[in-house]
Structure 1
Amino acid sequence: MSDLGVAEIPVDENERPLPPPAAPAKNALLDGPILRTLLWLTWPNVIALTAGTCVVIAETSYIGRLGVEALAAMALVFPTVILTMTMSGGAMGGGVASAIARALGAGDLDRASTLAAHALLIGLCFGLAFMLGMLIFGPKLLELLGGRGNVLTQAIAYTQIFFGGAVVPWLMNTMSGILRGTGNMKLPSLLMLSSAICQIILGGTLGLGLGPIPQFGMSGVAAGSLIAYLISISVMSWYLFSGRARVVPKLKGLRIQWSMFIDILKVGAIACFSPLQSVLTISIFTHMLASFGTEVLAGYGIGARLEFMLTSISFAVGIASVPMVGMAVGAQRIARARKIAWTAGLVAFASVGTFATFIAIFPDIWVNLFTDDAAVRAASRQYLSTAAPMYAFLGLATAMYFSSQGAAKVIGPVMAQTARLLFIGAGGWWLLTHDATAQSFFMLAAASMVLLGVLSCASVVLTRWGPKQRLPAVSPALS
């Protein structure tokens, strides 16, 4: 200030005015338009998850070339494989992304780097637990699921290879969670896409045999998946530890801090119950429908494939919302965090609902892709016309689940999944005891989707996302 109280303009050595200091760079996840930012983060995930769906279709195709027994073996191991991928990616991976995003939102880069290192330790430990559990108890589990003879033998062969390397998918999805927590959706999605291509090529080559490469059968299919995952891990490791990522895991001289584990596990560990309950719900419902015969069961299966494909859209939206909500919560901008959650829910509800309702009106577009059997077509049309419009509520529930992960308040959506499981179990038992038709079970499935969506929204409304407000201390009255 000059003697006259007027602010002096800074000048350089030639007495020329200096330009004003640059404004601090804005974080798009914290300051950008919500819908546009959400959609920008979502589209890479849509491509990657669509590629994952293509892998399932391709694997089914070339495993079918190995024979009916190989297809049956894959049906036995598929639930455990999907459970592994959803737990490590969507559940624990979401917990990792949430913790890192909240740390970055609070401006604590050092904490985010330390969390990343602890996340890798969690991925390693869970991978080892899955490996030991399936190698020791896997054969007995597959037998309990109905595996017999050569079908059981082939299922065990797949399990020994895939779960012998269970650490690999766990570390891959943990690294993806670290990157997504920083808002980087493109690299994990690009690697998921390239991994899908590698899985199809390597799995087919090793499983069926090509040129000088012998046919390894189900073991080769499993090995192809692990090799593809290892390629993704190599690229992400280079990116993370070369300093190119916003967060570099602090492994050198790492001191274990239990608070870091708790910050991740309070979201990730609880979230793991959601895919577990989802698989259990589908298993119970499938078991109930089996009493109506093969045609009804097959018709439901065709509808369930559409559900799996469309909910991948809501997964893409939900995963994108995790770092946005997490950073907003970390920055104590709770109103913005909630607005992100409702925007993600609306996008998921509308996008899934639009496609599903179209198929419900014109079911043959989907059904004719899978079967020529008249009875199966009739059952599938009946299921889709009843349940498909309600897929929108599944999309809504998925978005609420991931947004709650970002806020580190995931108990509500998990309890909503529990309520759906109990609803299906109790409602299905009542229908079975009253000789209900298959249509009644289809209505039960549709009602359970609405219940899940409504309860998931209610959990977001009723759960406090911000810190608890402390009451001001009351000073003692003067005597």
Structure 2
Amino acid sequence: MSMLTGPILPTLLRLALPNVLAMASATAVGIAETAYIGQLGLTPLAAMALVFPFAMLMQMFSAGAMGGGISSAISRALGAKDQARAETLALHAALIGGSCGLFFMVLFIAFGHVFYAALGGQGEVLAEATRYGMVLFVGVVAVWLTNSLSSVLRGGGDMRMPSTVILTASLAQIVIGACLGLGLGPFPRLGMAGVALVNVLSFTGAALYLLYRLMRADARVRLRWRGVPLQKAMFFDILKVGGLACLSPLQSVATVILITALVARTGVEALAGYAIGSRLEFLLIPIAFGIGVAAVPMVGMAIGAGDVTRARRVAWTSGAVSAVMLAVVGLVVTVAPNLWSGMFTQQQGVLDAAARYLRSAGPAFPFFGLGLTLYFASQGSGKVLGTVLAGTARFLVVLGVGLWLGAHGASDTAMFLLVGAAMVVYGIAAVVAIYMTPWSPKRAAVPEPIAA
């Protein structure tokens, strides 16, 4: 199997490319939906802004965090040549995805208005956000199932199928979402509800197709519903990585919220410039994510096969590739920031603020990519605590230094430099975590059934 014996860099790049394309398509959905919801008016656009962070959090939880735990467990089982364990884990992964989806569906349908109000939603904006969220989060079960089942496939080394499914779902959201949202052609104008409905239908179709693929007899890891007893050890094998990894998205969101609040104190133009500059990070994440997700099964299979040396080489290689690619982006926007910010505004004050941000944070982009990719690689090893703590270090730097700078009336440039410094801390801390954490494999204990 090339993932266990093939050359690391070519194999990594081959696996990463479909993931990068799929993530880029998901990013395009967000851009497209913002564009045509903006045509509905300011109220729908503001309402979408209230719901968007929670929708993104569901993706980060299900695809990047719990999804990494699923891929890690399955790839380690396959590396140890334990096909039965891998297929048992697939069932447990589907149950975890479905259960988490149901939990968050009930949570956001029942209490979504409370969360949107906490972000500042009021009046008609809050009412519109609540209506939009009521439809959107009906489909969160399908989102969790899609990403959980995709992670099963990735754990077996199949990156192309889940990426193709996500790309197809993204195209459907962009095209049909515009038709139902704006009432193009023969379609009714359903507004925000139409956009949300297409999201639900797209992910439902994706989840059903992935179920079909995994239940086929020729599946690399087959999903079996009968004759497979539920086992605590299997749930634990996934949750010990995926559950802990869920702290990382929470830290990322908290860091962004904190930085936004700190920059807002320095003026409207600085805040607008930061919003434009930081939007570039949405294009950086697919690169680091795509490479990192490809590293998870490569590391996991090597760990399962007892080849810790190869597992570490995969981790360092993936981190280096991500760092180099993001360094190129950082160099371009540092030298010519208006190439990016000029696409969003022509107001000189905002352009100047965006340039200050990009020149401060741009040189640190490779450290951001390095840290994020090593976070995924550590999931493959089953030892994710160190890289999660690296994210904690980033947050604490922003919190401690940011509050001190704010108390002393620091300029927006100082805040932007802090963003870059926190990225550097994140990357270095992730390197230290990988270096210090032992990755010696442990043989699975005899599973304890939950039910006969």
Whether TM exceeds 0.5 here: the answer is yes
Residue 245 (structure 1) aligned with residue 192 (structure 2): no
Residue in 2 aligned with 1:218? 192
CA deviations over 1:1-45 (Å, ceiling 9, x no partner): xxxxxxxxxxxxxxxxxxxxxxxxxx0000000001000101111
Residue in 1 aligned with 2:25? 51
Question: Are the equivalent residues in 2 in contact too, given 1:311–1:352 (CA < 8 A)?
Answer: no
Q: Given residue 145 of structure 2, which amino acid in structure 1 is its aligned partner?
A: L
Higher Cα radius of gyration:
1
State the alpha-carbon separation in 1 of the partners of residues 208 and 218 from structure 2.
14
Residue in 1 aligned with 2:362? 388
Question: Are the equivalent residues in 2 in contact too, given 1:155–1:218 (CA < 8 A)?
Answer: no
State the alpha-carbon separation in 2 of the partners of residues 153 and 245 from structure 1.
45
Question: Are the equivalent residues in 2 in contact too, given 1:131–1:166 (CA < 8 A)?
Answer: yes
Identical counterparts, % of pairs: 47
State the alpha-carbon separation in 2 of the partners of residues 158 and 371 from structure 1.
28
Residue in 1 aligned with 2:382? 408
Aligned match for 2:283, one of 299, 304, 309: 309
State the alpha-carbon separation in 1 of the partners of residues 268 and 371 from structure 2.
30
Residue 468 of structure 1: how far off its partner (Å): 7.3
Residue 81 (structure 1) aligned with residue 55 (structure 2): yes
Aligned match for 1:366, one of 327, 332, 340: 340
CA deviations over 1:137-160 (Å, ceiling 9, x no partner): 211111111111111111111110
Question: Are the equivalent residues in 1 in contact too, given 2:47–2:129 (CA < 8 A)?
Answer: yes
Rate the CA distance shift 1:284–1:164 in 2: closer, same or farther, 3 A. same
Aligned match for 1:343, one of 293, 317, 326: 317
Question: Are the equivalent residues in 2 in contact too, given 1:28–1:37 (CA < 8 A)?
Answer: yes
State the alpha-carbon separation in 1 of the partners of residues 414 and 437 from structure 2.
34
Q: Given residue 244 of structure 2, which amino acid in structure 1 is its aligned partner?
A: I
Q: Given residue 390 of structure 1, which amino acid in structure 2 is its aligned partner?
A: A
Q: Given residue 102 of structure 2, which amino acid in structure 1 is its aligned partner?
A: L
State the alpha-carbon separation in 2 of the partners of residues 55 and 164 from structure 1.
19
Aligned match for 2:6, one of 32, 36, 60: 32
Moved more, 439-448 or 208-217: 208-217
Moved more, 428-437 or 209-218: 209-218
State the alpha-carbon separation in 2 of the partners of residues 52 and 239 from structure 1.
22
Q: Given residue 369 of structure 1, which amino acid in structure 2 is its aligned partner?
A: M
CA deviations over 1:170-218 (Å, ceiling 9, x no partner): 0000010000000000011111111110011121122112344322221
CA deviations over 1:94-127 (Å, ceiling 9, x no partner): 1000000000000000000000000000001100
Alignment of 1:387-466 (within 5 A): 387-466=361-440
Residue 254 of structure 1: how far off its partner (Å): 2.8
**For 2:403, what is the secondary structure of its paired residue?**
helix
State the alpha-carbon separation in 1 of the partners of residues 379 and 310 from structure 2.
15
Alignment of 1:15-164 (within 5 A): 27-164=1-138
Residue in 1 aligned with 2:447? none
Task: Structure 1: give runs of 5+ residues left out of the alignment.
Answer: 1-26, 470-479
Question: Are the equivalent residues in 1 in contact too, given 2:341–2:351 (CA < 8 A)?
Answer: yes
Question: Are the equivalent residues in 1 in contact too, given 2:139–2:203 (CA < 8 A)?
Answer: no
Residue 200 (structure 1) aligned with residue 181 (structure 2): no
State the alpha-carbon separation in 1 of the partners of residues 173 and 356 from structure 2.
35
State the alpha-carbon separation in 2 of the partners of residues 305 and 191 from structure 1.
26
Residue 257 (structure 1) aligned with residue 231 (structure 2): yes
Q: Given residue 365 of structure 2, which amino acid in structure 1 is its aligned partner?
A: Y
Residue 228 (structure 1) aligned with residue 196 (structure 2): no
Q: Given residue 9 of structure 2, which amino acid in structure 1 is its aligned partner?
A: L
Residue 280 (structure 1) aligned with residue 254 (structure 2): yes
Question: Are the equivalent residues in 1 in contact too, given 2:269–2:350 (CA < 8 A)?
Answer: yes
> Of the two structures, which has the highest relative contact order with CA contacts closer than 8 Å and spacing of 6 or more?
2
CA deviations over 1:341-372 (Å, ceiling 9, x no partner): 00000000000111121111011111110001
Residue 423 of structure 1: how far off its partner (Å): 1.1
Residue 184 (structure 1) aligned with residue 158 (structure 2): yes
Give me the TM-score of the superposition, normalised by structure 2: 0.96
Q: Given residue 41 of structure 2, which amino acid in structure 1 is its aligned partner?
A: G
Rate the CA distance shift 1:468–1:219 in 2: closer, same or farther, 3 A. closer
CA deviations over 1:309-363 (Å, ceiling 9, x no partner): 0221111100000000000000000000000000000000000111121111011
State the alpha-carbon separation in 1 of the partners of residues 267 and 168 from structure 2.
40
**For 1:66, what is the secondary structure of its paired residue?**
coil
State the alpha-carbon separation in 2 of the partners of residues 109 and 468 from structure 1.
17
**For 1:292, what is the secondary structure of its paired residue?**
coil
Residue 234 of structure 1: how far off its partner (Å): 2.4
**For 1:370, what is the secondary structure of its paired residue?**
coil
State the alpha-carbon separation in 2 of the partners of residues 131 and 304 from structure 1.
29
Q: Given residue 240 of structure 2, which amino acid in structure 1 is its aligned partner?
A: K
Q: Given residue 213 of structure 1, which amino acid in structure 2 is its aligned partner?
A: F
CA deviations over 1:225-272 (Å, ceiling 9, x no partner): 111112212221121111232011121133110000000000000001
**For 2:265, what is the secondary structure of its paired residue?**
helix
Residue in 2 aligned with 1:333? 307
State the alpha-carbon separation in 1 of the partners of residues 327 and 217 from structure 2.
42
Decide which structure has greater helix share: 2
